Amino acid sequence: MSVLRFEGVSKVFRSSLRGKYLYTLGPITLGVEQGEIFGYLGPNGAGKTTTLKLAMGLLRATSGKVLIFDRPHDSRSARKCVGFLPEQPYFYQHLTAVELLEFYGDMFGLSRDENRRRALHLLELVGLREFGNAMISKFSKGMLQRIGLAQALVNDPDLVVLDEPMSGLDPVGRREIRDLILDLKSKGKTVFLSSHILQDVEMICDRVGILSAGRILEIASVAEVLDRGVRSVEIQIEGLTVSVARDLGFAGASSLGDKTVVNVAHQDEVNGAIMKLAAAGARVVAVIPLRATLEDYFMSQIAGGGNQEGRAFHTQVRGPRSRERSDRGATGRQSDREELISNTPGKMGR
Ligand SMILES: Nc1ncnc2c1ncn2[C@@H]1O[C@H](COP(=O)(O)OP(=O)(O)OP(=O)(O)O)[C@@H](O)[C@H]1O
Ligand SMILES: [Mg+2]
């Protein structure tokens, strides 16, 4: 059972003038599994926020359905298990940080004492301990991001949905939030996040989905992507000159300071190469797989429209565009403008 499941979910935004199509997302079929951190990636305007809002019930899908723990995503029981950090959170400016968290705690029926304890704990968790009595109106962007994350955790949710959680944070803040997300995972929570910061995604996510122009190009495990991206292996040695290394058959040998560097094309050639170099008197000082980063992979996917599998999926999901229209007709969807139900604190996906 997926914790969060999109089943053929699409969203069509139309201009209110003549019903012209502006943007189509999906149909998306995607499952986020128990205990994983799933990164949802895509360039600006790809549809990440739209997907997350559909998951939270802040937008209504044109077709398809979203399930949370196998229950309709907008059911009371599903909402109880979810925490959400919107892309640009807006909070009541006149509240202090503690009051804000207690305000959300109230919605989940926490008792007065429990609410206070939870608020203080969350402030500590997101690094805002000294700012409990500071007004939200005085908060910097990074502090707002942190308090936003704290409010997403008020109900100790099993599923945490985060839209660009690292945005607006300095490198130390990003690291703290990464650690916090990893900590959630270690407690068995499931995290679905969107991000532009691929380095962060590479460090913490188990799987990624790459979205471009409303279509999922590929869903892959991060480890698989990184393994697939190993281009060659660099072996750094001492005690052997470049020319001797070349004589041994390492044609591309070069020098790096006092060291000699040779490259082998595949990981399974590494042992043989090391034995050959050692037999000639070399001392191995480093073996470094040269791999493409997630960023390289992401860029190639976006530029190429996905790999073979991705393309097949791409074609498959592109196909039903006409069906999407008939679905829309069948469900009699409304125009896009009124579909943003609410992004105000009182109604954030609860
Ligand atoms: N309420 C709306 N009405 C009409 N079009 C919309 C609406 N909300 C989003 N869109 C359009 O949907 C597309 C996807 O937007 P979305 O905000 O989901 O992208 P994103 O991937 O989150 O981008 P970013 O990385 O900039 O946050 C954009 O073309 C956007 O203009
Ligand atoms: Mg967005």
Residue 184 sits in a domain whose CATH number is: 3.40.50.300
Q: Does a structural domain hold residue 205? A: yes
Dmax (CA) for the chain in angstroms is: 78
* Ligand 1 atom with least separation from CA of 211: 21
Query: Per the structure block, which two tokens stand in for 273?
Result: 């190469």
Across the beta sheet with 207-212, the strand order is 82-85, 159-163, 190-194, 37-41, 207-212, 215-221
Q: Does a structural domain hold residue 151? A: no
Q: Does a structural domain hold residue 264? A: yes
User: In this structure, are residues 226 and 204 in contact, taking their beta carbons and an 8 Å threshold?
Assistant: no
> How many A from CA of 145 to the centre of ligand 2?
14
Of residues 288, 311, 307, 309, the one with CA closest to residue 298: 307
Q: What is the pLDDT along the chain (350 residues), one digit of tens a residue?
A: 789 999 999 888 876 666 666 777 879 899 999 999 999 998 888 899 999 999 999 999 888 999 999 999 888 888 889 999 998 888 889 999 999 999 998 888 888 888 999 999 999 988 898 998 999 999 888 888 889 999 999 999 999 999 999 887 888 888 888 888 998 999 999 999 998 888 888 889 999 998 888 888 888 888 887 777 667 888 999 999 999 999 999 988 998 888 999 999 887 889 999 999 999 999 999 998 777 777 777 787 777 665 433 332 232 222 222 333 333 333 333 333 333 333 333 333 32
CA within 13 Å, CB half, 116: 3
> How many A from CA of 50 to the centre of ligand 1?
6
Q: Does a structural domain hold residue 143? A: no
251 and 287 both lie in a single domain: yes
Number of domains observed in the structure of the chain: 2
Q: Please name which ligand lies nearest the alpha carbon of 13.
A: 1
> How many A from CA of 281 to the centre of ligand 2?
56
Peptide bond into 89 cis (omega under 30): no
179 and 283 both lie in a single domain: no
Range of the domain at 277: 230-291
- For residues 289 and 265, give the distance between their C-alpha atoms in angstroms, rounded to a whole number: 10
Across the beta sheet with 259-264, the strand order is 254-256, 259-264, 230-238, 283-291
Q: Does a structural domain hold residue 94? A: no
**Beta-ladder partners of 159:** 82, 190
334 and 277 both lie in a single domain: no
Q: Does a structural domain hold residue 216? A: yes
Residues with CB under 6 A from ligand 1: 13, 22-23, 42, 44-50, 87, 336, 340
Rounded to 5 degrees, what are φ and ψ at 11? -140, 125
